[in-house]
Chains A and B, each alone.
Chain A
Amino acid sequence: MGRQITIRALKFDPQSAVSKPHFKDYQLEEIPSMTLFIALGMIREQLDPDLSFDFVCRAGICGSCAMMINGRPRLACKTLTSSFSENVITLMPMPSFPLIKDLSVNTGEWFAGMNARVESWAHHKKEVDITKPEERVDPDEAQSVFELDRCIECGCCIAACGTKLMRENFIGAAGMNRAMRFLIDSHDERSDDDFYELVGDDDGVFGCMSLIGCHDTCPKQIPLQGTLAQLRNKMVKVGKAR
C-alpha cells in the first residue's frame, strides 16, 4: 500500500456571492509515479467534482497548469507527489493573475496583453517570395533564438516576481524575454531604439530589480538571468544616447 497523502487545495469562487477563500483537504493513497495531474484528476472524479484547475498537455509542454505548490510556482503536471517528504501538499493559485476559480487563474489574458505590448511578431517590410529558398540564417543565431523561444507562457516567473506584485503593469521576465527573442532574430528589422519605445521604462527593463527569482523558477530553464541583463544593457545604452 502507498502512503496516505493529503492534498490541501485553496477553494474560492469569485463569481459566487457566498464563496469565501478556504482550504479543503483531500486524502489519497499515493501510487507509483503519481503526479499532481493524476492526483487532482482522482480528486475531481472521486471526491470533489467542483474543484477547478487547468491541464492540457499533462506533459510539461503547454504551460497551463502552473500553480503554487507548497509556496512555489511550478507546473503541476510535472510535479511528482513523491518529491515531497511531508504528507501534506498545499496548492494555491498563482498570484498576479486574475483568479478564475480555486486553482485556475487567467494567464491567457495577461499573456495576450504582454504579446500586444512587445508587438510579439517579426517586423519586416520585405516582400518575400515563398517559392524561393528561404533566407540563410546562421545556425548559431537560430539556436539562440530557439533557446528564448521555448517560453511556454506558464507564468511561473511572473508569480515569483516581487516587482510584479508592486507594479501592476510590470512586463515581467516573460515579456522581456520575448522582446529579446525578437531583438536577436534577424527576421525582425526593429532596432534597439524601437524596443526602447516598448520596454524602456519602469514597467519594463528599468522596473526589474534583478533579484532573479524568475530565473530560478522557470520550468523550461530559459536563461533569464543573462537575457534580462543583456536586454537591460542594450536599453541603458539607448537611454543614455537620448
Chain B
Amino acid sequence: MKVVYCDALVVGGGLAGLRASIACRQVGLDVIVLSLVPVRRSHSAAAQGGMQASLGNAKMSEGDNEDLHFLDTVKGSDWGCDQQVARMFVTTAPKAIRELANWGVPWTRIKKGDRPAVINGEHVTITEREDRHGYILSRDFGGTKKWRTCFTADATGHTMLYAVANEALHHKVKIEDRKEMIALIHHGGKCYGAVVRDLITGEIVGYVSKGTLLATGGYGRVYKHTTNAVICDGVGIATALETGVAKLGNMEAVQFHPTALVPSGILMTEGCRGDGGILRDKFGRRFMPAYEPEKKELASRDVVSRRILEHIKRGYGANSPYGDHVWLDIAILGRAHVEKNLRDVHEIAETFAGVDAADDSLETEENLKGMPTDEPDFGPGAPKQKGWVPIKPMQHYSMGGLRTDYKGHSHLKGLFCAGEAACWDLHGFNRLGGNSVSEAVVAGMIIGDYFAAYCKSAELDISTHIVEQFIQKSHEHIQELLHNDGKENVYEIRERMREIMDEKVGVFREGHTLEAAVNELEELYKRSKHIHVKNKKTHNNPELEDAYRTQKMLKIALCIAKGALDRTESRGAHTRLDHPKRDDANWLNRTLASWPDPNQTLPTLEYEPLDIMKMELSPDFRGYGAKGNFIPHPLKEQRDAEIKEITERIQAQGGDRYDLQEALMPFDLQPKYKARNVRLDDQRQGE
C-alpha cells in the first residue's frame, strides 16, 4: 500500500486552496495541493464580475470603508452570517486585493478625466480626479452602498486564479492534479489526511498529513439547472460528512442567480443589469418596476429570482422547448456599448443561444397576442426583438458548506475548510455578488495562516495500521461498486436527483413538496447502493467515478432538502411560501447536518444559535417587500439599547469608528491583517 507523507494537505486548487497553500509555504511547511483538474481550470476561473474590496479609490467609491462593506454584507446575509467573520473579512479584503496587484493581476485602473457610464438606464458622465489616475477602479454591483467591485474587464476570476497559481509556483507548492480525495483518514476525533484516487491510473494512495484543509468549492451540480462547472458536485464536503464527526452548516442556503442563459445555464453576469439592461416578459413588458419600484432590476439576487418566477407563474413567461423563461434585453444599451463593455456576454449569447444580443430589430409581433389590457403596472408591451436573450433563475452559489469556527477549523480536529466549500459563515442566507472570490482569497490568507500554525504544532500520532485500514476500505468500496449484482443505472438516479432538487427544493419552497423531495431522495439514496457499473476497468473509468460521486451527492442533496423542510421561516435565499416571515424568535440560528452512522439514510440535524447579544448590527428590516416582514428576536430591544448606549458613550469620549467598532464587537484576527487599511483620502489628509 502506498502512503505519501506531508506536513499540510490541501484538497482543492481554486483560489482558496492555492492561497492557503502559499500561507503554508511561507512558514516552511511541506504542502501538497490535490485537484480533480489542472488547478487553473478550477471553477474560480469562471468568475466574471469581480471582487469586492473597499478601496474607495474611484469617484463612485469615494468614502467607502470596512464599515460600509460590513453593513452591506450583514444585511445581504439577512442577518444569518457570523458578524465576527464578516468583520475579519472586510478588514482583510483591501489587503488581499493589493497583494494580488503585486502578484500581477492586471486590475482595470482608473483613467483621469471623463468616462461615460449608464446609471439607472440613463447615460451619464463620471469625472475622475487626476490624483486617482492609475489606481484600481471598481464597478457597481447589486446590494452595495458604493461601487466596490474591482475587476479585470470580464475575466476577473481567471486573472486572479492565474496570479495565485503563479505565486504558488514561485513558492514551490507541490501540486498534483487529476487526483481525487475519496475518503478522509481520521481516528479518535482527529484528521490525518486523505485517501486519494489517481484519476488516470486508478491507483489508491494514502496521503498522511498533520493537518488537512478542504477547499473543494460548491455543490451546484446536485441541481439540474446550474451555472456551476461540472466538477462542482459537493463530493469534497460529502467526504467530510462521511467521517461522522464533521458537520455541514446551513446547507439549505442555496443561491439562485436570476439571469442564467436558457437552456445551457451559462451565466449572464450581473453586469448586464448593472449597466442598465432590463427584464421583459413574453409580451415585452418591463415587469420589475411593478414588483420592486425602488431597486427594479438591481434588487438583490434572491429577490429578482423570486420576482421572475412569480411572474412566470402568472403565465407571463415566454414558452420554449426548455420551459418558460423571461427575456434579458441589453440591446437597449446600444450595439456599441454591448460589443465593447459586454463582450463576453455578447459572445456567449451568440454561441450558446444563437442570439445577437445587440440586435434591436423586430422579430415578430405575434408575442403581443392575448396581452391583458387591464394591467398598466407592468408597463407597455413591445414586439419581440431579435436580440432578447432567454434567461431564468438557476442554482448559482452554495452559502452552506463544511461548518468551521472563525479559524476555519471544523468539528473534526485537524480538518480545516475555506472558500465556497466552507460555512465559515460569511454569507449567511444570501451572498452578495463579488463577495465570493473575495472570500476565497481572504479565507486563503486568514484560515491559511491558522491552518499552517496548526500543522506546525500538530503531531503525526497515528499508526500505519489505521492508515492502511482506510486505504483498504476505499479499495473494497470501489471493488464492490464494480462487481455488485445491482440493477440501477447511475445516470438515471443522478438525473432524477437533479430534477427533484430543481422542482421541489428551488427558489420557492413549501412543506409538502419538500417532504416529498426528502422521501424521494432517500429512496434514491437507497437505490444508489445498487448501482451497476457496466465498465469494469479500475483505471480511467468515468462511469465508475460517476457512480461513487452520485452516492455522495445524494447525501448533499438530502442535507439541503431536509434542512429546508425543517427551517419553517423565510430568510435570504431560503423562501418558504408557507412561512413567509423571517422568524428571528425561533430561527436566528445555523442548521448543522451530520451523518454519525454510515447506515443512516437521512442526515441528523441540530441547531447552533447566533448570539444576538454579540452582534454589532442587530437584526433588522432588509429593505425588500413589505416592511416589518420579520418576527423580532426577544432580545432585540435589549441589544439595540446596548448598542445605542455604547455608541453614545464612545462618541462622547471622542472615539473614532475603530473605537466604536471595537467596543461593539471585538474580534480576533492576525495583527498583520487587522492593521488599518490606508486609503487615498487618508493619505491626502495626512499630507
Stretch at the interface among A104-112, A199-207, A228-236: A104-112
A61 touches B104 (CB 8 A): no
Chain A residues within an 8 Å CB radius of B158: 61, 149-150, 152
Query: Count the A-B residue pairs with Cβ separation under 8 angstroms: how many?
Result: 193
B353 within 8 A of A: yes
B396 to chain A, nearest CB (A): 13
B263 within 8 A of A: yes
B155 within 8 A of A: yes
A115 within 8 A of B: yes
B362 within 8 A of A: no
The one of A50, A60, A64 in contact with B541, judged by C-beta atoms closer than 8 angstroms, is: A50
B528 to chain A, nearest CB (A): 16
**For window 42-85 of chain A, which residues contact chain B by CB distance below 8 Å?**
44-46, 49-52, 54-64, 78, 80
Question: Number of A residues whose C-beta is below 8 Å from B?
Answer: 63
A134 touches B101 (CB 8 A): yes
A49 touches B535 (CB 8 A): yes
A108 touches B177 (CB 8 A): yes
A130 within 8 A of B: yes
A121 touches B106 (CB 8 A): no
CA distance A99 to B34 in the complex (A): 21
Chain A residues within an 8 Å CB radius of B683: 133
A193 within 8 A of B: no
CA distance A13 to B110 in the complex (A): 52
The one of A46, A57, A153 in contact with B229, judged by C-beta atoms closer than 8 angstroms, is: A57
CA distance A150 to B98 in the complex (A): 20
CA distance A187 to B107 in the complex (A): 12
B229 touches A146 (CB 8 A): no
A121 touches B166 (CB 8 A): yes
CA distance A139 to B130 in the complex (A): 13
CA distance A146 to B155 in the complex (A): 9
A8 to chain B, nearest CB (A): 19
Interface of A is mostly: loop
B135 touches A149 (CB 8 A): no
CA distance A135 to B103 in the complex (A): 12
B59 within 8 A of A: no
A120 within 8 A of B: yes
B38 touches A107 (CB 8 A): yes
Stretch at the interface among B39-47, B270-278, B295-303, B620-628: B39-47
**Known pairs A33-B354, A60-B351, A116-B169; A134 contacts B37 (CB<8 A):** no
The one of A33, A58, A61 in contact with B263, judged by C-beta atoms closer than 8 angstroms, is: A33
Most A C-beta atoms less than 10 A away, residue of B42, B43, B102 = B102
- The residue in chain B whose Cβ has the minimal distance to the Cβ of A55 is B230
B153 within 8 A of A: yes
A88 within 8 A of B: no
CA distance A189 to B200 in the complex (A): 39
B95 within 8 A of A: yes
B341 within 8 A of A: no
The one of A51, A78, A106, A187 in contact with B102, judged by C-beta atoms closer than 8 angstroms, is: A187
CA distance A44 to B351 in the complex (A): 23
The one of B104, B136, B264 in contact with A185, judged by C-beta atoms closer than 8 angstroms, is: B104
CA distance A33 to B350 in the complex (A): 10
Chain A residues within an 8 Å CB radius of B42: 56, 62
CA distance A108 to B675 in the complex (A): 39
Question: Number of B residues whose C-beta is below 8 Å from A?
Answer: 75
**A-facing mask of B435-472, CB < 8 A → 1, else 0?**
00000000000000000000000000000000000000
A165 within 8 A of B: no
- The residue in chain A whose Cβ has the minimal distance to the Cβ of B152 is A146
A166 within 8 A of B: no
B371 within 8 A of A: no
B543 touches A142 (CB 8 A): no
**Known pairs A108-B37, A146-B152; A60 contacts B101 (CB<8 A):** no
A175 to chain B, nearest CB (A): 14
A80 touches B102 (CB 8 A): no
B539 within 8 A of A: yes
A17 within 8 A of B: no
Chain A residues within an 8 Å CB radius of B541: 50
A136 within 8 A of B: yes
A240 within 8 A of B: no
B436 to chain A, nearest CB (A): 16
B41 touches A63 (CB 8 A): yes
B302 to chain A, nearest CB (A): 23
Most B C-beta atoms less than 10 A away, residue of A51, A59, A119, A131 = A59
A177 within 8 A of B: no
B540 touches A101 (CB 8 A): yes
CA distance A188 to B679 in the complex (A): 24
B676 to chain A, nearest CB (A): 7
Chain B residues within an 8 Å CB radius of A187: 101-104
CA distance A227 to B175 in the complex (A): 30
The one of A52, A64, A115, A120 in contact with B542, judged by C-beta atoms closer than 8 angstroms, is: A52
The one of A52, A139, A182, A188 in contact with B540, judged by C-beta atoms closer than 8 angstroms, is: A52
A209 within 8 A of B: no
Chain A residues within an 8 Å CB radius of B169: 115-116, 120-121
A142 touches B230 (CB 8 A): no
The one of A46, A108, A139, A182 in contact with B110, judged by C-beta atoms closer than 8 angstroms, is: A139
Most B C-beta atoms less than 10 A away, residue of A16, A61, A106 = A61
B114 to chain A, nearest CB (A): 14
CA distance A52 to B200 in the complex (A): 11
**Known pairs A33-B354, A136-B133; A59 contacts B46 (CB<8 A):** yes
A211 within 8 A of B: no
CA distance A111 to B41 in the complex (A): 12
B376 to chain A, nearest CB (A): 36
**For window 95-152 of chain A, which residues contact chain B by CB distance below 8 Å?**
100-101, 106-108, 111-112, 115-116, 119-122, 124, 128, 130-139, 142-143, 145-146, 149-150, 152
A15 within 8 A of B: yes
B135 touches A133 (CB 8 A): yes
B21 to chain A, nearest CB (A): 14
A9 to chain B, nearest CB (A): 14
- The residue in chain B whose Cβ has the minimal distance to the Cβ of A75 is B351
**Known pairs A122-B102, A150-B158, A187-B103; A137 contacts B677 (CB<8 A):** no
B99 within 8 A of A: yes
B167 within 8 A of A: yes
B46 touches A150 (CB 8 A): no
CA distance A179 to B135 in the complex (A): 25
- Residue pairs across A and B with Cβ atoms less than 8 A apart, 26 shown, are A33-B352, A35-B352, A44-B542, A49-B542, A50-B543, A55-B230, A56-B229, A57-B41, A57-B229, A58-B230, A59-B266, A62-B46, A80-B351, A108-B37, A121-B166, A122-B104, A132-B98, A133-B679, A136-B134, A138-B109, A138-B134, A142-B108, A146-B108, A146-B153, A149-B162, A153-B38
Supplied contacts A56-B41, A57-B43, A60-B348, 7 more A-B pairs, CB within 8 Å? A35-B351, A52-B542, A60-B351, A124-B102, A135-B102, A136-B134, A137-B109
8 nearest A-B residue pairs (beta carbon): A108-B38, A136-B134, A49-B543, A122-B104, A121-B170, A145-B106, A121-B166, A139-B109
Q: Interface on A for B, CB 8 Å cutoff?
A: 13, 15-16, 32-33, 35, 44-46, 49-52, 54-64, 78, 80, 100-101, 106-108, 111-112, 115-116, 119-122, 124, 128, 130-139, 142-143, 145-146, 149-150, 152-153, 182, 185, 187-188
